[in-house]
Amino acid sequence: MYRQEQQLARLGLPLSRQTLANWMIYGAEKWLSHLVERMRVHLLRQDVLYADETTLQVLREPGKAPQTQSYMWLYRTGRMGPPIVLFDYKQTRGGEHPRDYLQGFHGYLHVDGYAGYHKVANTTLVGCWAHARRKFDEALKVLPSTEERKGTVAQQGLQYCNQLFVVERDIKEKTTEERYAIRKERSKPILDAYLVWLCQQRARTLPKSAVGQAIAYSLNQWEKLTSFLEDGRLEMDNNRSERSIKPFVIGRKNWLFANSPRGAKASAIIYSLLETAKENQLNPFQYLNYLFEQIPQLSDVTKGEELDRFLPWSTSLPDVCRITKS
């Protein structure tokens, strides 16, 4: 908004950042929030979801110092169902936030190693092998030279993870049933051997060393890490949600903080709508134009069924909202 304020001033339009911020908050609260809440209804109907969280600084939170970190939570759909990406601002990282946001959801939830997700009821947590692999990769990088890395415990652990990812690359385009069957045939033996290896190495490795922590991570997360075998719709990692939260993380490097909780909530609403629009191959600018033209004309903006035709995956949207492919 600082940049927009300067650009508008050069065009002879002296609009303050406060005015621009108030416009965004008003539009998010009065109109876009109803769409995002409807998107959440559709999200909770899915069988497979993904979750992640990242830090956010909000300057004027009641009872908190400006330097205190708050959090932006992300929830999204996977391979099945409409692409939905939702952000939710909260003041803490407490597990009660995903528990409350996902109330009514029953199914599989892809997560990282954060224990707070255990509070989400009626779900099977699916762990992230990208995190498990990264631990061994980091342990390998602290070794002094390439020659000394060969045959080390860190390299062996990395190799087990790599074997699993090779299987995933081979089955990427397979059907759900084929993915399930191939994993049972190829991934399960790798996992069995890896578990035996982990138990052997734990007794021989310093627990506070980098490789010791990598071993402990896989063992502590074992139930979640092996959940992907249960259903061919599941994935081995949580990269889908990490990719979706990245635009927010990159944006944060520019705007740095939110001034107030209302502003942070408005940001969550706007990010939810625009990132979901992008996932559905919409032109965000044209889509917003269409929404602000049409939604104020509705007799009751809180009626879910009326809002469905405006959702980013709706086939009722005009062609002008869609990205044209040359």
Mean pLDDT of 253-265: 93
With a CB cutoff of 8 Å and minimum separation 6, the contacts of 109 are 49, 50, 51, 102, 117, 120, 123, 124, 125, 126
Give the count of beta carbons closer than 10 Å to the beta carbon of residue 207: 10
- Give the residue-averaged pLDDT of 304-312: 92
| pLDDT higher than threshold 60 for residue 261 | yes
Which pLDDT tens digit goes with each residue over 5-15? Answer: 999 999 999 99
Q: How many CB atoms are closer than 10 A to CB 153?
A: 20
User: Alpha-carbon Rg of the chain, whole angstroms?
Assistant: 23
Task: Kindly report, residue by residue over 143-201, the tens digit of the pLDDT.
Answer: 876 656 678 999 999 999 999 999 999 999 999 999 999 999 999 999 999 999 999 99
- Taking residues 220-238, report their average pLDDT: 97
Residues 6+ apart with CB under 8 A from 110: 48, 49, 50, 51, 78, 126, 128, 234, 235, 237, 238, 240, 241
Predicted local distance difference test score (pLDDT) of residue 303: 80
Contacts of 320 (CB under 8 A, 6+ apart): 283, 286, 290
Res 147: pLDDT: 54
Question: Given this model, what pLDDT does residue 142 score?
Answer: 83
SS (H, E, C) the chain: CHHHHHHHHHCCCCCCHHHHHHHHHHHHHHHHHHHHHHHHHHHHCCCEEEEEEEEEEECCCCCCCCCCEEEEEEEEECCCCCCCEEEEEECCCCCHHHHHHCCCCCEEEECCCCHHHHHCCCEEEECCHHHHHHHHHHHHHCCCCHHHHCCCHHHHHHHHHHHHHHHHHHCCCCCHHHHHHHHHHHHHHHHHHHHHHHHHHHCCCCCCCHHHHHHHHHHHCHHHHCHHHHCCCCCCCCHHHHHHHHHHHHHHHHHCCECCHHHHHHHHHHHHHHHHHHHCCECHHHHHHHHHHHHHHCCCCCCHHHHHHHCCCCCCCCHHHECCCC
Q: Which residues touch 208 (CB under 8 Å, ≥6 apart)?
A: none
> How do residues 3-52 score in pLDDT, each as one tens digit?
999 999 999 999 999 999 999 999 999 999 999 999 999 999 999 999 99
- pLDDT, tens digit, for every residue of 110-145? 999 999 999 999 999 999 999 999 999 999 988 876
**Which of 291, 111, 127, 118 has the alpha carbon at shortest distance from 223?**
127
Q: How confident is the model at residue 302 (pLDDT cuts 50, 70, 90)?
A: confident
Could you give the maximum distance between any two Cα atoms of the chain, in Å? 72
Percent of all residues in the chain with a pLDDT value above 90, rounded to a whole number:
90
- Asked if residues 290 and 252 have their Cβ atoms less than 8 Å apart, the reply is no
| Segments making up each domain of the chain, as ranges | 2-125+239-321, 128-230
Here the tokens at position 48 are: 């497979």
Count of CB atoms within 10 A of residue 11's CB?
8
